[in-house]
Amino acid sequence: MADHNMDLHDQVHDEEQHEDDNAMLDPDEADETIEQDDDAAMDSGEDDDNDDEDMMQHEIQLQNDSQAHFDLHSDSLFCIAQHPTNPAIVATGGGDDRAFIWDSTPLPGPVLPRSYETEPAAAPVERESLQALAVLDGQDESVNAIAFTLPGGEYVVTGTLAGTLSAYKTPTSQTNKVVSVGTAKEVEEINWIQPCPSAAHPNTIALGASDGSVWVYEVGSAGLTIIQTFFLHQAPCTAGAWTPDGKLLATVSEDSSFYVWDAFGDAAAAGIKDASGGQAVVGLTGVDERFRVDGGLYSVAISPGGGIAAVGGAGGHIRIIGLPRLGAASAASTDKGGQGARAKAGGAKQAAQPSAANVGQAGQILAALQAQSDGVETLDFSQPPLTLLAAGSVDGSIALFDAAHNFAIRRSIPEAHADEDAAQAVIQVQFVKTPLGTANPNGHVLTSAGNDGVVRRWDVRGGTAATNKGFMGEWKGHRGGGEGGGILGFAQGGGGKRIVTAGDDGVALVFDM
């Protein structure tokens, strides 16, 4: 298989950007632009004969800020998941057709300030790798997706590039025993898996496939049970996200389509139905020129209140769409943004027709944004009281939009991730979060990781940015993208006190913050 994350949908990002002058935000409107200083470039010398010596010097000086590592994988780590009630327990899957569950707690004893690899001229003592609690056997191809079920992490599920979904009873550290509860193979490739947060539907997951289909499964001791299947996407389904109440599922595709599915019939019970009579309560495609993103959509995020979805795609394009309200759920402050933008962007021709009690912004295109030059691969909303949307792009930049002010650009960070040669793609952005209703003293902290192999943190509050431009610090240890490295994902549950990374170099690193 080709490098899982390095291609980053190259086939679509070269497409000519679609322009919408009436709806796009000009990057010049940004309140603040952060100029991120590049790391000092290593002197390559004037003579080609010095190349080998320079490469050796770079290897010896490899910085490793981690407190622990896990190196039982023999190929790139494509995915990582964190147990919902015990954040120390993580699961990883990779290109070696293997998946592991392991404890990320650093081993006792002094931390060795050195690489996890043997290096010339280094101290002879190697730091010991963390060990696996369990091996999830039976993977028939690269493990492309992995997740613990909600609310208690009772099961762990894996999805492979051969299309096999496998479910296991989550082992405990006391038994170290893996019990397979079932497998299913209905698609050619599984692109992503998302656990459902609905209290009424525990141990339920959704997945998106390379044929565009979307599947919802319930996991139980008797195996895997299909709850719903959806087939409106006409190209690979690239990302999905549940609303916070777990009642609706939003998905996007390479065909630039966006659908919101009524997975359990809650929308139908509330009188919200798709005008076409289908199962999507909201449906938008490139047929609507205001929504169209040439090159496809690759990321989706839903606001904490569940009233707004953001989708990102090729050419730096982002669309903001209103979602229907179900029951007595109220919107968080993040959802108050977009009301003024609605008049600018107008409604969607293919939007669902909600009941009178839910008439409003449902199905409306609230804003069309373009503050970055290449594909938007990752999106995340902040928790209240902040009202921000963070977007990470293949061009190496991070953009922050304010949902409370028509998604105006609050901050632009060019080359948020870069190496000595060029900007490197931002693979994941994520605000530090806590369970809803609990205090979050670090809600202003945004974590990012990229193909440069570096984890960085940013303070998104405008007041402190005057002194440090928002940059809080960086943590290294992975090889950069130029050496077959980079970070393909991270987890930071438990209030962001610890970050665990999945490296393209085949190693997971643990950083205590």
Residue range 283-316, pLDDT digits in tens: 999 999 999 999 999 999 999 999 999 999 999 9
Q: How far apart are CA 276 and CA 93, in angstroms?
A: 39
Q: How far apart are CA 504 and CA 488, in angstroms?
A: 6
Q: Report residue 258: phi and psi, to 5°.
A: -135, 125
CA-wise closest residue to 20 among 400, 394, 288: 288
Cis peptide before 385 (omega within 30 of 0): yes
Give the number of other Cβ atoms within 10 Å of residue 236's Cβ.
Answer: 20
Q: How far apart are CA 259 and CA 46, in angstroms?
A: 56
CA-wise closest residue to 455 among 427, 420, 483: 427
DSSP element (H, E) containing 454: none
Percentage of the chain surpassing pLDDT 90? Answer: 66
Q: Is 137's pLDDT higher than 60?
A: yes
Q: Helix, strand or coil for residue 162?
A: coil
Q: How far apart are CA 464 and CA 478, in angstroms?
A: 29
Q: Is 184's pLDDT higher than 70?
A: yes
| Whole-number pLDDT of residue 479 | 86
Instruction: Give the strand order in the sheet containing 398-402.
Output: 376-381, 388-393, 398-402, 408-413
Q: Is 27's pLDDT higher than 50?
A: no
| Whole-number pLDDT of residue 483 | 63
Q: Helix, strand or coil for residue 418?
A: strand
Q: How far apart are CA 424 and CA 174, in angstroms?
A: 42
Classify burial at 441, counting beta carbons within 10 Å of its beta carbon; exposed 0-12, middle 13-18, buried 19 or more.
Answer: exposed
DSSP element (H, E) containing 77: strand 77-82
Q: How far apart are CA 136 and CA 101, in angstroms?
A: 8
Q: Which of 32-41, 142-151, 326-335 has the lowest mean pLDDT?
A: 32-41
| Whole-number pLDDT of residue 482 | 62
Q: What mean pLDDT, rounded, does the chain reach?
A: 82
| Whole-number pLDDT of residue 501 | 98
CA-wise closest residue to 102 among 82, 116, 84, 85: 82
The confidence band for 213, taking pLDDT boundaries of 50, 70 and 90, is very high
The confidence band for 347, taking pLDDT boundaries of 50, 70 and 90, is very low
- Side-chain half-sphere of 286: how many Cα atoms within 13 Å? 18
DSSP secondary-structure letter at 273?
B
Q: Is 47's pLDDT higher than 80?
A: no
Give the number of other Cβ atoms within 10 Å of residue 343's Cβ.
Answer: 10
Q: Is 442's pLDDT higher than 60?
A: yes
| Top-confidence residue, 90 or 332 | 90
Torsion of CA 476, 480, 481, 483, to 10 degrees: -150
Spell 458-485 as b/e; 16+ CB within 10 A means b. bbbeeeebeeebbbbebbbbbbbbebeb
Instruction: Show the 3-state SS of 124-159.
Output: CCCCCCCCEEEECCCCCCCEEEEEECCCCCCEEEEE
Interval 224-250: pLDDT, tens: 999 999 999 999 999 999 999 999 999
pLDDT (average), residues 197-216:
97
Percentage of the chain surpassing pLDDT 70? Answer: 74
| Top-confidence residue, 220 or 268 | 220
Interval 356-400: pLDDT, tens: 334 458 889 999 999 999 999 999 999 999 999 999 999 999 999
Torsion of CA 373, 365, 213, 233, to 10 degrees: -80
